[in-house]
Amino acid sequence: MNLAAAATNESLAQTSNVLIYSAMAVYTLAFFAHIAEWLLGSRSKVARTAAALTGGAQESAAGSVKVQVAKKGGATAVLERPKIITRSASGSRDIPDGPGAHGGDAQGDLYGRIAVSLTVLAWAVEAAGVVARALSVQRAPWGNMYEFNITFSTVAVGVYLTLLALKKNVRWIGLPLITTVLLDLGLAVTVLYTDSDQLVPALHSYWLWIHVSTAIFCGAVFYVGAVATLLYLFRERYETKLATGLKPGSFATSVMERLPASGTLDKFAYRVNAAVFPLWTFTIIAGAIWAGDAWGRYWGWDPKEVWSFITWVAYACYLHARATAGWKGRKAAYLALIAFGCWLFNYYGVNIFVTGKHSYAGV
């Protein structure tokens, strides 16, 4: 019976590996589809014709520019190009955004939908790989850095797809998300890979499911917030150049005009970080309770505990800065990126380079 169970577990572990590599292959296809969305979305025949007819003129009112484009057979089609208003009026809360990664035309939207469909497929395959890994060891699949990585990327993509399902305008996250997911999985299957094994005694607790799962989810949401914050900095600089009469390059214009306005990006980043911050607080508290059960003390200034607290302080400073008039905008954005850098170091640096009570199961 034991030999049969061991053979089954080994088979499940191999199945998990195959599924992870398969997910990487599909993510790669999604990556190229996202690139096609950005590159071809504003260069289709319809988009070029509309640009020529409008003469690049910018309208001042909100809404869409409607252009009649001649089609075969004498029929006409109406192409709606959302206006791009880079600065909101004084006191206005609603900031019109760019058309999106697809560039406002059907060809770009087609590639974008293909990219999202491939992302959904890759996410499903990767999630199956995580489940197979869990079944192979009959525990939560978070006993080492390899398992943490594949679960983290799965949750990060899941957060993105959930936002899309809720009709949020977040498809612009797709390309940077898939790029980093591929890097994350590449690192997982090469440098961080660890064979399936049982946990050390300290990890045999239901707190593993509670503490680590919330930590992974918080990291995934913090990542989405960090992407929005970074793009906010680029978009805000682009808007500042336009406001001062400068003319950015064609590449910068093509990319920046498709993103949401800087105010929208800033608001989005703040909301996701503020929403998940209480859960990060709970993660630290749950870890302290688990430490009390496993090691007989709730807090011992272990490197992982220290950097978890530093990350908490950094995000608390960011949220406080966003509520302070003098620290809104770029200053607060820099704090948000510093906070996410602390989380990344806690995720990778502490586990790989620092020795402590959390250094178990290899990497």
> How far apart are the C-alpha atoms of 129 and 338, rounded to whole Å?
32
Distance in angstroms (rounded) separating the CA atoms of residues 312 and 360: 24
Cα–Cα distance for residue pair 181/150, rounded to 1 Å? 9
> What's the mean pLDDT in 338-349?
91
What predicted TM-score, i.e. pTM, was given to this entire model? 0.82
φ/ψ (deg, to 5) at 143: -90, -10
Q: Which residues contact 344 (CB under 8 A, 6 or more apart)?
A: none
Q: Which residues contact 300 (CB under 8 A, 6 or more apart)?
A: 291, 357
Q: What are 101-155's pLDDT values in tens digits?
A: 888 888 889 999 999 999 999 999 999 999 999 888 888 888 788 888 999 999 9
3-class secondary structure, 67: strand
* pLDDT at residue 282, as a whole number: 95
CA distance 197 to 31: 33
| 209-233 pLDDT tens trace | 888 899 999 999 999 999 999 999 9
Inter-residue contact 170 to 156 (CB < 8 Å): no
- The mean per-residue pLDDT over the stretch 57-71 comes to 42
User: Distance between CA atoms of 88 and 60, rounded to whole angstroms?
Assistant: 11
Give the residue, 80 or 164, on which the prediction is more confident. 164
Going by C-alpha positions, the residue among 11, 5, 23 that lies closest to residue 128 is 23
| Nearest residue to 237 via CA among 269, 262, 257 | 262
Structural tokens at position 344 = 């990344």
pLDDT, tens digit, 9 for 90 and up, residues 320-342: 888 876 677 888 999 999 999 99
Cα–Cα distance measured from residue 315 to residue 319, given in angstroms and rounded to the nearest whole number: 6
pLDDT given at position 355: 66
Please answer whether residues 149 and 215 qualify as being in contact, where contact means their C-beta atoms are separated by less than 8 angstroms.
no
- The CA-to-CA distance between both ends of the chain, in Å, stands at 31
> For position 22, what pLDDT does the model report?
96
Distance CA 157, CA 125 (A): 12
CA 307 – CA 287 distance, rounded (Å): 13
- In this predicted structure, the answer to whether residue 248 has a pLDDT above a threshold of 90 is no
Percent share of the chain, pLDDT over 90: 41
If one compares 234 and 353, the residue with the highest pLDDT of the two is 234
Which of helix, strand or coil describes residue 190?
Answer: helix
Tens digits of residue pLDDT in 264-285: 899 999 999 999 999 999 999 9
103-126 CB burial, b ≥16 within 10 A, e <16: bbbebbbbbbebbbebbbbbbbbb
Compare 37 and 197 and report the one with higher pLDDT: 37
Q: What is the pLDDT of residues 145-184, one digit of tens each?
A: 888 899 999 999 999 999 999 988 899 999 999 999 999 9
